[in-house]
Amino acid sequence: MERKRLGEAVDGALYAAGRLHLLLLRFLTGTLTLFLILVPVTGVWMVSLMRKYSVFRDFFGYLRRGQAIGSLAAFLLCYMGMFGALFWLCIVCRRLRIAKRLIVWSMIWVPFLNYGLALYVRGLARQEIDHSIHKIRLDDVRVERQVCKTRYPVLLVHGVGFRDFHYFNYWGRIPRELRRNGAEVYYGHQEAWGTVEDNGEILRQKIFEILKETGAKKVNIIAHSKGGLDSRYLISGLVMGPYVATLTTINTPHHGSALVDFLMGLPDGLYQLICRYIDWYFGKLGDKKPNAYAASRQLSCGYAKEFNEKYPDVPGVFYQSFTSLMRHGLSSKLLCVPYWILKVIDGPNDGLVTAESARWTNFRGVVTNQYLRGISHGDMIDLTREDYRNFKVLEFYIQLVEKLAENGF
């Protein structure tokens, strides 16, 4: 109960922070717009007075004319105002990526060019304002309707190499947004480097806890990456089908990852040494039975083939799958190296998993956008806590859970 109240307080604070950010963005955009109008007006006024009172012919007389001095002061004041508003708007505007911010800040000192940059940044800020206002209106309507209020609680199951930390959430802003829209959200709390068997047992116990707490008869599982394999073993291997209504897998290597096969080509002694270090590190973070050597090999193509034959889908459970694709290596700084390796040895991928490997029962297609960046493995769990053009991660999950609710789950 205390954690629930704390979560509600945090949600309220984050919502208020979002509104405050929008107000600040609107203030800075309005201020910059005002100075963008005043700079050319005061500039024309100043030039006209300077031409009327030539500096070369009547320099001291020109200095005595207050309106000429006033025009110069007004121009400089407006120019510095534009400079300051542009500087702070670059900090506040979320649509301006780090690289573009550095470019703007490096060019902000160049006369005339900084005026063009100000127009560009103002355009991005206005787009963000329009999007934010539309999202707030849409969110308010949906929160009233509680569109994500499903029949069964939602269980989020994380992937390999992470844990369900309370303050550094694997799922980013997603759980908060689902709760705001009516969903009951729980976490799997399985281990970061546990085998599918060990993690399946943890998930089994977690489901019984959820059912006891809520009084529900089943849960809806949304699983990312290896979490999808943990969940499939849970349903089929541990005979938990009667307690699971749906399983949605996202970027799960159902048919294995050629990247893991590539890494398994390393000398076995080196491979085990790396895995022992991973086990030691995640043991410090809370894993009770870390086994990176076995867990990583369970992501290989050979293991996946045996796994699929041994643990088929269970009748009565609704399955569906999604995946995403990066467009090039620079789409994700974190996954650029594995992306290129997997691209060469297998094909298009999200940085860790190919689209073909993620394809499973009721495959809903590839999530991507029309721009060069694409959508990475981490983007699908809101790793960077930001949206991308043509892909709003929070909207994706709201629509996913809303659809489950509409179908009676």
In the chain, % of residues over pLDDT 90 = 41
Show Cβ contacts of residue 314 under 8 Å, excluding neighbours closer than 6 positions: 235, 236, 241
Res 168: pLDDT: 73
In the chain, % of residues over pLDDT 70 = 87
Q: How far apart are CA 392 and CA 123, in angstroms?
A: 20
pLDDT tens digits, one per residue of 138-151: 666 666 678 889 99
pLDDT score of 11 more than 50: yes
Res 53: pLDDT: 58
* Structure token digits, residue 265: 């080509």
3-state SS of the chain?
A: CHHHHHHHHHHHHHHHHHHHHHHHHHHHHHHHHHHHHHHHHHHHHHHHHHHHCCCCCCHHHHHHCHHHHHHHHHHHHHHHHHHHHHHHHHHHCCCCCHHHHHHHHHHCCCCCHHHHHHHHHHHHHHHHHHHHHHHHHHHHHHHHHCCCCCCCCEEEECCCCCCCCCCCCCCCCHHHHHHHCCCCEEECCCCCCCCHHHHHHHHHHHHHHHHHHHCCCCEEEEEECCHHHHHHHHHHHCCCHHHEEEEEEECCCCCCCHHHHHHCCCCHHHHHHHHHHHHHHHHHHCCCCCCHHHHHHCCCHHHHHHHHHHCCCCCCCEEEEEEECECCHHHCCCCHHHHHHHHHHCCCECCCCEHHHHCCCCEEEEECCCCCCECCCCHHHCCCCCCECCECHHHHHHHHHHHHHHCCC
In terms of Cα–Cα distance, which of 338, 359, 382 is closest to 228? 359
pTM for the complete prediction? Answer: 0.73
Per-residue pLDDT band for 397 (boundaries 50, 70, 90) equals: very high
Res 41: pLDDT: 84
146: alpha, beta or left, given left = phi > 0 and alpha = psi -120 to 50?
left
Segment 183-187 shows an average pLDDT of 93
Res 60: pLDDT: 47
**Average pLDDT across the chain, whole number:** 84
Strands 363-367 and 185-187: unpaired
Res 373: pLDDT: 76
Beta bridge partners of 220: 154, 246
Res 31: pLDDT: 85
pLDDT tens digits, one per residue of 310-335: 999 999 999 999 999 988 877 777 88
> Could you tell me the end-to-end alpha-carbon distance of the chain, in angstroms, rounded to an integer?
25
